[in-house]
Amino acid sequence: MRHSPRGGVGRTSVSDDAQFHPPQALFAISTTSIHPPVDPASASYLQISPRIQAGPHIKSTMSNPFTLNGGACLAMTGKDCVAIACDLRLGQQALTLSNNFPKVFNYGDVWLGLTGLATDVQTIHSLFRYKVNLYRLREEREIEPETMANLVSSTLYERRFGPYYVSPVVAGINQRTGKPFICGFDSIGCIDFAKDFIVSGTASDQLFGVAEGLWEPDLEADELFETISQTLLNSLDRDALAGWGAHVYIIKKDSVTKRLLRTRQD
């Protein structure tokens, strides 16, 4: 709370010289800073690559909550259909803890994929179950995918300075218009409306590469299933932090097919 300029009320007892201390982060996220503290040991030119030391995507998993538990998620559009898929791995760095940890959740007519820190995945899932249930009671109808996108965005932005470490993906078909809808978010709620596909998780580079090569517009439901499955499977095989089975949802206006993919178990 800020000091009240009028005085009298509020936190006037706080002494003026109290310094602002940034909240202690649970995970210290360090990125390359403009003026890095110079460590004589690391100043040697023998350390080959600046990218290997401090590259944004080759960070130690303990300091990066987004890659601690591993996992991948992918959504794609087709002709009058959408698909959303995820892997099943839950790990702690290189150690696999579970091979049955789905990352796609359903809220009526909307599907939400969540990758990132597993505890936040579960927290966010129960939070949205709560919020969508309240929405359904108040509105007496199911939430639309576009509305869900804005709900996810504003919910994440509420935690702008202490974010949930998740990269959500929304998919669904608008039951009023019949229009397929997908979108993705960063961890503080910036929406990425995509016409083609959305990727998230530790295999996102691989997913981008394969999806860009395999996806084409107006795929029928069965073609879309093949495309999203091949994209996910081949990407998972090149990511040590994701895999161990997959769930694929093919969503049409009045039918949903959920398939479990058998994959390599390594």
Partner 1 sequence: MASSYLLPHAQHAPHAHPTASSQPRQHHWSPYTENGGVILGIAGKDYVIIAGDTRSSEGYNINTRTARKIFQLGSGIILGVVGMSADGEELARKVARKIDDYKRNHDKHITVSAAAVMLSRTLYQKRFFPYYCQPLLGGLDENGVGAIYTYDYVGSFEREQSRAFGSAAALITPFLDNQINLKNQFVPGSNGEEPRTPGDMPRDLVEKIVKDAFSSAVERQIEVGDGLQMVTVTRAPPRAEEEEATVEDDDEWTGSTISETLSPLKQD
| Structure-token pair, residue 16 | 């003026």
Output the CA–CA distances (angstroms, integers) from residue 240 to 62, 70, 103, 244, 265, in the order listed. Answer: 15, 8, 17, 10, 11
Chain residues that interact with partner 1, rule: CB under 8 A: 19, 22-23, 25, 28-31, 33, 35, 37-38, 43, 45-46, 48-51, 56-57, 64, 66-67, 116, 161-163, 167, 186-188, 199-202, 204-206, 208-210, 212-214, 230, 233-235, 237-238, 262
Question: How far is Cα 189 from Cα 163, in angstroms, rounded to an integer?
Answer: 9
Find out whether 190 and 150 touch, Cβ atoms under 8 Å.
Answer: no
Residue 67 or residue 144: which is nearer to partner 1 going by CB? 67
Residue 162 or residue 217: which is nearer to partner 1 going by CB? 162
Find out whether 231 and 214 touch, Cβ atoms under 8 Å.
Answer: yes
Question: How far is Cα 93 from Cα 67, in angstroms, rounded to an integer?
Answer: 8
Residue 93 or residue 147: which is nearer to partner 1 going by CB? 93
> Least distance in Å: CB of 182 to partner 1?
16
| Structure-token pair, residue 256 | 């949903």
Residue 143 or residue 242: which is nearer to partner 1 going by CB? 242
Question: How far is Cα 187 from Cα 158, in angstroms, rounded to an integer?
Answer: 11
Residue 151 or residue 203: which is nearer to partner 1 going by CB? 203
Nearest residue to 139 via CA among 109, 181, 178, 111: 109
> Least distance in Å: CB of 133 to partner 1?
29
> Least distance in Å: CB of 81 to partner 1?
22
> Least distance in Å: CB of 186 to partner 1?
5
Question: How far is Cα 102 from Cα 172, in angstroms, rounded to an integer?
Answer: 18
> Least distance in Å: CB of 127 to partner 1?
19
Angle between the N-to-C axes of helices 145-157 and 118-139, in degrees from 0 to 180, rounded to the nearest 10: 130
> Least distance in Å: CB of 258 to partner 1?
18
User: Which residues partner with 155 through β-bridges?
Assistant: none
Residue 8 or residue 22: which is nearer to partner 1 going by CB? 22
